[in-house]
Structure 1
Amino acid sequence: MREKEIEALLRDGVKRLGGTAYKFTSPGNSGVPDRLVVFRGRAPIFVELKTKAGRLTELQEVQIERLRSLGQDVRVLYGKDDVLKFLSLQESLQKIMDELLGGGGGAI
């Protein structure tokens, strides 16, 4: 599966769960993660997508470490299986958040 197809799987899966997977670019900051995933009532998740055989570049490793040092949740997903596991986990977490927040979308 190509990286573009993996990205579509993530984007469509997040949308199905009620979230958004923004394409993330930061001019002047090469190597930032591919997507910024947001769900109602939760902190954003930076997601770098790779094919199953893909590898992070040195610059990507630096950017990921920088974000993590700032307390951000950064995930590196390799291939379809990792994306499906990520989506399954997010679905479980979103069900919990929906119960806590109720149907109105307000803050806790």
Structure 2
Amino acid sequence: VLAQDSDSYWAFHKALFNKQPTDDAEAPWITNELLLNLAKQYAPKVNQDKLAQDIKNKTTKPQLDADTNIVKMYNIHQTPSILINGTVVNNPFDYEEIVSLIEKAKAGRG
């Protein structure tokens, strides 16, 4: 959806997020049919045939694999997570820690 219609992406994303099961978060629930139906509803400019082919061919898998590798490499366990110059911010809502790490990186000390 993002590749075809970036303006509709967040509406699609929110709709997909809202479809998550609340009773068993680990249960498989995303289907190709669900993705296509939500795209049709929330991203009407998206070409359904192309989206179906992209899903079937796993067109964006290399991008997902890159993200998965980053998660594994930095041992990420929460969302959101912030990395600054290769250092994971312990509390992504700690403004002072973020500023400190940025300043260290700018000074070449981090």
Q: Same fold (TM over 0.5)?
A: no
Normalising by the residue count of structure 2, what TM-score does the alignment of the two structures yield? 0.28
When Rg is computed on C-alpha atoms for both structures, the one with the higher figure is: 2
Higher strand share: 1
